[in-house]
Amino acid sequence: MKRIAVVGGRGFVGGELLRLLVHHPEVEVAGVTSDTRAGQAVETAHPPLRGSGLRYRRRADLEPVDLVFLAGVHGSTIEVLDELSALAPKVVDLTADFRIEDATRMQHHYGWHREGAHASAFVRGLPELHRKQIVDADRVAVPGCMATSAILSLAPLANRNLLSSVEVDARTGSSGSGASADSANSHALRSGVMRVFAPLGHRHEAEVAEALGVEASMTATATPQVRGVQTLTRVAVGEATERELVRMYREDYGAEPFVRLLTSPRGAFRYPDPKVLLGSNFCDIGIAVDDRGRALVMAALDNLVKGAAGGAVQCMNLMLGLPETCGLTFPGLHPV
Amino acid sequence: MKRIAVVGGRGFVGGELLRLLVHHPEVEVAGVTSDTRAGQAVETAHPPLRGSGLRYRRRADLEPVDLVFLAGVHGSTIEVLDELSALAPKVVDLTADFRIEDATRMQHHYGWHREGAHASAFVRGLPELHRKQIVDADRVAVPGCMATSAILSLAPLANRNLLSSVEVDARTGSSGSGASADSANSHALRSGVMRVFAPLGHRHEAEVAEALGVEASMTATATPQVRGVQTLTRVAVGEATERELVRMYREDYGAEPFVRLLTSPRGAFRYPDPKVLLGSNFCDIGIAVDDRGRALVMAALDNLVKGAAGGAVQCMNLMLGLPETCGLTFPGLHPV
Amino acid sequence: MKRIAVVGGRGFVGGELLRLLVHHPEVEVAGVTSDTRAGQAVETAHPPLRGSGLRYRRRADLEPVDLVFLAGVHGSTIEVLDELSALAPKVVDLTADFRIEDATRMQHHYGWHREGAHASAFVRGLPELHRKQIVDADRVAVPGCMATSAILSLAPLANRNLLSSVEVDARTGSSGSGASADSANSHALRSGVMRVFAPLGHRHEAEVAEALGVEASMTATATPQVRGVQTLTRVAVGEATERELVRMYREDYGAEPFVRLLTSPRGAFRYPDPKVLLGSNFCDIGIAVDDRGRALVMAALDNLVKGAAGGAVQCMNLMLGLPETCGLTFPGLHPV
Amino acid sequence: MKRIAVVGGRGFVGGELLRLLVHHPEVEVAGVTSDTRAGQAVETAHPPLRGSGLRYRRRADLEPVDLVFLAGVHGSTIEVLDELSALAPKVVDLTADFRIEDATRMQHHYGWHREGAHASAFVRGLPELHRKQIVDADRVAVPGCMATSAILSLAPLANRNLLSSVEVDARTGSSGSGASADSANSHALRSGVMRVFAPLGHRHEAEVAEALGVEASMTATATPQVRGVQTLTRVAVGEATERELVRMYREDYGAEPFVRLLTSPRGAFRYPDPKVLLGSNFCDIGIAVDDRGRALVMAALDNLVKGAAGGAVQCMNLMLGLPETCGLTFPGLHPV
């Protein structure tokens, strides 16, 4: 059994990580920290962990582990990384701190960048694109949820130099805003919205641009779900047919355990919809092509699983030499 | 045109009041206060007021008006009442400060009571029970939303001495929790709940007890709606038939403009459901009786309208000599 | 008082029409038909009409009126139009039958077209674009809900020849699917979806193309709301600044009673969101421009009001010489 | 590996059964039937089964198995039972056909009863009450979802003769209505309801009465969730304190793997709420006592899991000699 710690286990991503780790057959949770809840039972924040016996501790009380997940707020990783490196040979970061390599982009989107820090020390935590590097990596940075959806859905086209720039339309549920209180995020004000919170320039676009090597722009809308992310991207495909596009995706993803290409012609769920992915680690991808050379590339995932904690556990499995799908086979809960 | 002020116009009740008053043909809004938003446009808090031109001001900047609504947080009325009495001959209070007459009950449910204050100076703001007193009153205290539903649905039985005690099962949407931020009230944590926040002893039971003159106990559950209150109460009715009960309710409420007795035997909305009352000032009541002498008395209303701002405007109309239904005829928005 | 009839008063659009007409000060509802519900009270289908006394009748039992609304299923207008013309000098059609002028487009999107019928006899029911024609028209065809949002949001650019083609991303609540039962539209399967039901080529694109005189493509996603439509369109604006674009929109819409340009820089509802428009006849429009010459044009409306029944009543007001805003001043219910 | 068949695998309960069985380590799904979908992939009805390779077949094409689940519509079991008995030595029935022993009750609630059929041949599928009988049973009838919640929450009191009659207030999400289409169950009409569909006399009360040996009455309200059941029951407890009641429940349920007694005094989820049980097989129970000898007994569960498919798999595990919790350890997905 590998020993794992979660630093910043108070939020939704931390809770989801713990749910996955507690039921993972090859690891044990050796420590969970929370700045504000040290001493309290983890189940007070995450009811599904009732009976787990886990308690929050201070970061200073962590013992050495095989791997540590960093799930605190954005900006916290850079503060604690050196300290934690002594405790854990391997780090999986779920904050945004080391996702973006380019200092200008980082400065533009987050208002700071890492003077002298080595973003390049972190491998992008997308096994479908960087599996070999992740296997060998000590430090992995898991991409943002909407970035993951966009990147996975567009990589086969980027790989074939069929894209020069992309304009991504992203939609996200409320759990992506985190567990902290905010009036605009209250149930009364957040229910039933179609809230464009980033009309142009959502910061996840920087990750898309770096991962795909193209110019990227992202629009983001908050929709009424709690969980779920969907991205839609229109691309010009010239003479390519839907069949040809499907073949490209099959080539790249046919053996992937967590990427599914939806090609069924029928049914209410024939296109990617996070509704049928709740709790699962799948990213579903679909493509539609019209007779004017335009395609719509769609993708959906559960933002807390494939878009965060599940993707992180998938990386952990690779980094620790475990089967990649271990602990991640939940097929999705439906209907919810 | 009568001049009206709203003190505490930042919250949901304040916003609903302003929506009703701005479109009321016989009054004008002469002032709206907010402790924290003075100088800002009211539409920043309440988007439906876009174009109204209303701005928040400090309470010290209010000018004399014909009637003032107090819609601040519970406990605030008692602090400002004397000051405001000089500005407005008539006061309609939407806080809980003067709803309960008995000091012991007040202390038990709110942790304080009014030493030397005269609750009896306030008339309970339920026109269906106290119309004449309201017409003559200078001070009216509007009951709580769940109390209004329970009282209206049970008064015909209490009036006939058919009740000795009542156990009310109340359900409420999230707007009843107010506009302030709270993690438990965030969209992610509040969506989809059946959250029993008061298993026994919800404080609105004190109002029910005083209004009906019986012992009362209230259970309260937060349900996933934003708007809406429903109360269900089981009562023993002995030999009384449904027809006889309906006749009692017809006697009491047949001429009421805002109380409807649902007696249609068919359809998905045959029993009171706040779903079909959104934005309206109606309180719908229904009764079902089984063959063992038990009845279920049901009522539903929009907590921000009949359960707060609408009921308050109905009282205002009476206090100012206006037609009782003026500005309150919106029939409900459906489906939403 | 003008006498009005509604043919096809069973569905959501019919219900919304009746809600508006019953409370309209200058008209009376002289007849409501339903093929399947003749004889039944209208409130059995539309609970907010409790107390209206309206009953469904057969179409054959309609008496002459000043204006008739056709709110039946798509395809029904063409069947009944001749018959109704004898009863009503003026017709407002809410079906899709006469929205599209081009036979090829009609055939492509609806599978039929009007051999010999004269679509051009119908004026497009968008007062903001065709006010004068509507005033003089006997026949008006109200555009689809998503088409209305897209057209209004893009017309100022089209008017200035700044568009050559548009790709509209439309989102819609479930009430747009109508009141009929369908498993995919059941609550369990429809809740929480991000269901792309038209990845490319939604039929409302034909109306956008004809109204704006540009090529148009529309993607449509079903989102979890009951009410509400939002459209987002990315356009290349070259050197134009946000200020310049706002000025164009102000020129075109500054005097419009039901189009609002949102330019407030703050708040959760600073961009168009149907959440704050429920029950209102407003179409809110917003624009964001980045530093690379791209703009996102956003619009939102209540699909049953401005996107159907409200827009139709606005046309009726013009056609009957009534004030354009009569009966349409409800500001929106919020929060719901 | 034990071989299992599911008869009636089209509905929500069938889908949930298949989700649990496909991931169950000790069984294999040897057949799934649907009257209307024979030949189609199961994933067309249940998207989470994508990749399972399962196809619907006709009932006549079933091969012998170790155990069959009957998950068709109510009334279908009695038609197919004899036929299936030849194929499977063990039967777990999820319809209502054999839940109620008393013919009068069955006739009253379902409009028919089993002339000559032997309800007593079926053991009630509640391991917490009848574990030993289930281990030895060939035929098990799983109780209704709301009945399960009510029975489990009240059994410790009934076991100690502290109840003479119970009045259960039950709330249920829309998935309890099944997968078939119905206008009243459409998203637009079912969203946001507090729909009392059984004011008194919901048919699950018969199961409660028989299981507890007391008179029972059940009120049922449809609430806006898709999944989840909650029951609240007020009981008179005389001098008993909360501590004493908790001790009784601990005695009965302390060793139960799927019944949890919530005694934490804090937090938004301190009382049973299906929100935190989605996908899990837990039934959470809570008790609150006031100072007037009244208690509120609360319980919550996921209606498709512990209230149907999960409870059925738990019975299967016992009947086949497998560990009782096998395949049922999912802790619940939260927040959703």
pLDDT at B118: 57
Distance (Å) from the C-alpha of residue D303 to the closest C-alpha of chain B?
Answer: 14
Closest CA to B216 of B230, B201, B231, B199: B201
Work out the average pLDDT over A231-252. Answer: 96
User: A156-183: per-residue pLDDT in tens?
Assistant: 999 999 999 999 999 999 999 877 778 8
CA distances, B160 to each of A27, B151, B172, B245, C286 (Å): 68, 14, 29, 11, 58
Q: Flag if C272 and A196 touch (Cβ within 8 Å).
A: yes
Query: Where residue A121 falls among pLDDT bands split at 50, 70, 90?
Result: confident
Position A62 scores a pLDDT of 96
Give me the residues paired with residue B171 across strands.
B221, B230
Are residues B199 and D132 in contact, defined by beta-carbon separation less than 8 angstroms? no
Q: What is the spatial distance between Cα A258 and Cα A148, in angstroms, rounded to a whole number?
A: 12
D253 in helix, strand or coil?
A: helix
Q: Which of B13, B303, B333 to mutate to test the interface with C (most CBs of C within 10 A)?
A: B333
Q: Which residue of B has its CA nearest to D269?
A: B195
At position D319, the amino acid (one-letter code) is M
Distances from the Cα of D314 to the Cα of D57, D62, D310, angstroms:
25, 23, 6
Return per-residue pLDDT of chain D as tens, 336 residues. 999 999 999 999 999 999 999 999 999 999 999 989 999 999 999 999 998 999 999 999 999 999 999 999 988 998 899 899 889 999 999 999 999 999 999 999 999 987 765 556 899 999 999 999 999 999 999 999 999 999 999 999 999 999 999 999 999 999 998 777 788 999 999 999 999 999 999 999 999 999 999 999 999 999 999 999 999 999 999 999 999 999 999 999 999 999 999 997 788 999 999 999 999 999 999 999 998 899 999 999 999 999 999 999 999 999 999 999 999 999 999 999
- Whether D234 sits inside 8 A of B288 (CB atoms) is no
pLDDT reading at A265 higher than 80: no
| Closest among A233, D134, A58 to C219, alpha carbons compared | A233
Tell me the H-state helices in chain D: 12-22, 77-85, 103-110, 127-136, 145-159, 187-190, 204-212, 242-253, 310-319
Amino acid at D26: E
Give the one of B199, B223, B295 whose C-beta lies nearest to D296's C-beta: B199
Name the strand (E) or helix (H) holding D92. Answer: strand D90-93
Which pLDDT does position D259 carry in this prediction? 98
Q: Are strands C56-57 and C27-33 parallel, antiparallel or unpaired?
A: parallel
The tokens describing A19, both together, are 């749910």
Q: What's the pLDDT band for B115 if we cut at 50, 70, 90?
A: confident
Burial profile B195-228: b = 16 or more Cβ within 10 angstroms, e = fewer: bbbbbbbbbbbbbbbbbbebebbbbbbbbbbbbb
Local structure of B113: helix, strand or coil: coil
**% of chain B surpassing 70 pLDDT:** 98
CATH number of the domain at A2-142+305-319, please? 3.40.50.720
- Which of A194, A232, A292 minimises the CB distance to C273? A194
Q: How far B333 CA lies from chain C's nearest CA (Å)?
A: 7
H or E stretch at A139: strand A139-141
CB B140 within 8 A of CB B308: no
Evaluate if pTM is beyond 0.90: yes
Measured CA to CA in angstroms, residue B238 lies from A331, B157, B244 at distances of: 54, 12, 12
The contacts of residue D276 (CB under 8 Å, 6+ apart) are: A47, A48, D269, D284, D332, D334
What are the residue numbers of the active site of C? Answer: 145
Contacts D182 to C, Cβ<8 Å: 181, 186
Pairing verdict, β C259-261 and C195-198: unpaired
Q: What is the DSSP string of A248-296?
A: HHHHHHTT-SSEEE-----STTSS--GGG-TT---EEEEEEE-TTSEEE
C41-50 residue pLDDT tens: 999 999 999 9
Residue D116: predicted pLDDT:
63
The alpha carbon of residue C227 is apart from the nearest alpha carbon of chain D, in Å, by: 8
Q: Is the pLDDT of residue C144 over 90?
A: yes
On the 0-12 / 13-18 / 19+ scale of CB atoms within 10 A, D89 is middle
Q: Do D227 and A50 touch (CB under 8 A)?
A: no
Residues of C within 8 A of D175 (CB-CB) are: 188
pLDDT one-digit tens code per residue, C113-131: 877 655 568 999 999 999 9
Instruction: Specify the pLDDT at position B8.
Output: 96
Q: How far is D128 from chain C (nearest CA, A)?
A: 30
Are B268 and D200 in contact (CB < 8 Å)? no
CB-based contact D271 B196, cutoff 8 Å: yes
Q: How many residues does chain D have?
A: 336
pLDDT at B117: 59
Contact A71, A19 (CB under 8 A): no
Return the CATH number of the domain spanning residue range B2-144+305-319: 3.40.50.720
Q: Residues in chain C whose beta carbon is closer than 8 A to a beta carbon of chain A?
A: 167, 169, 171, 184, 188-189, 191-196, 199-201, 217, 219, 221, 223-225, 228, 230, 232, 234, 267-269, 271-275, 286, 288-290, 292, 294-296, 298, 300, 335-336
Over residues C155-165, the mean pLDDT reads 96
Residues B115 and B103: their CA atoms lie apart, in Å, by: 8
Read off the tokens for B29: 């809004």
Q: Is A196 helix (H, G, I), strand (E, B) or coil?
A: strand
Q: pLDDT tier at C179 (50, 70, 90 boundaries)?
A: confident
Whole-angstrom distance, CA of residue D20 vs CA of residue D31: 14
> What secondary structure, in 3-state letters, does chain C show?
CEEEEEECCCCHHHHHHHHHHHCCCCEEEEEEECCCCCCCEHHHCCHHHCCCCCEEECHHHCCCCCEEEECCCCCCHHHHHHHHHCCCCEEEECCCCCCCCCHHHHHHHHCCCCCCCCHHHCEECCHHHHHHHHHHCCEEECCCHHHHHHHHHHHHHHHCCCCCEEEEEEEECHHHHCCCCCHHHEHHHHCCCCEEEECCCCCHHHHHHHHHCCEEEEEEEECCCCCCEEEEEEEECCCCCHHHHHHHHHHHHCCCCCEEECCCCCCCCCCCCHHHCCCCCCEEEEEEECCCCEEEEEEEECCCHHHHHHHHHHHHHHHCCCCCCCCCCCCCCCCC
The proportion of chain D whose per-residue pLDDT surpasses 70, expressed as a percent, equals: 98
In CATH, what class is A145-301? alpha beta
Per CB-CB distance under 8 Å, the chain D contacts of C183 are: 179-181
pLDDT digits (tens, 9 = 90+) for C216-275: 999 999 999 999 999 999 999 999 999 999 999 999 999 999 999 999 778 899 999 999
Cis omega (within 30 of 0) for bond into C335: yes
Bond before A335 cis per omega within 30 degrees: yes
CB-CB contact of A59 with A34 (8 Å) = no
Region A58-65: what's the mean pLDDT?
Answer: 96
Partner-chain contact C331 B227, CB within 8 Å: no
| Pick from B12, B276, B329: CB nearest C335 | B12
Distance between D190 CA and the closest CA of chain C, angstroms: 6
Rounded Cα distance, D309 and D9, in Å: 11
Could you tell me which residues of chain C have a Cβ less than 8 Å from any Cβ in chain D? Answer: 12, 173-175, 177, 179-183, 185-192, 226
Q: Write the residue in A15, A267, A334 that is nearest to D48 by C-beta.
A: A334
* Sheet (strand C229-236) strand order: C195-198, C215-222, C165-172, C229-236, C294-301, C283-289, C259-261
Average pLDDT estimate for A226-255: 96
Q: Please report the pLDDT score of residue A120 as a whole number.
A: 64
State the smallest CA–CA distance between residue C115 and chain B in angstroms. 37
pLDDT at residue C114, rounded to an integer: 79
Burial D148-183 (b: 16+ CB within 10 A, else e): bbbbbbbbbbbeeebbeebbbbbbbbbbbbbbeeeb
d(CA D119, CA D143): 13
Domain spans in chain B, listed from the N-terminal domain onward: 2-144+305-319, 145-301
Paired residues of C41 in beta bridges: C55
Residue A117 has a pLDDT of 59
Q: How far apart are CA D321 and CA B255, in angstroms?
A: 67
Nearest to C200 among A193, A195, A288 (CB): A288
Q: Residue A180 has what pLDDT? A: 74
Per the CB < 8 Å rule, is C199 touching A269?
A: no
**pLDDT (tens digit per residue) in B22-45:** 999 999 999 999 989 999 999 999
Question: Per the omega criterion (within 30 degrees of 0), is the bond before B335 cis?
Answer: yes
Q: What is the pLDDT of residue D250?
A: 98
Taking all residues of chain C, what is their mean pLDDT, rounded to a whole number? 95
DSSP 3-state of B166: strand
CA angle C163, C165, C168 (to 5 degrees): 105
CA–CA gap between residue C167 and residue C218 (Å, rounded): 6
Q: What is the CATH number of domain D2-143+305-319?
A: 3.40.50.720
Residue C273 is nearest to which of A193, A269, A290, comparing CB atoms?
A193
Q: Which residues of D touch C185 (CB under 8 A)?
A: 181, 186-187
- What confidence category does residue B183 fall into, taking pLDDT thresholds of 50, 70 and 90? confident
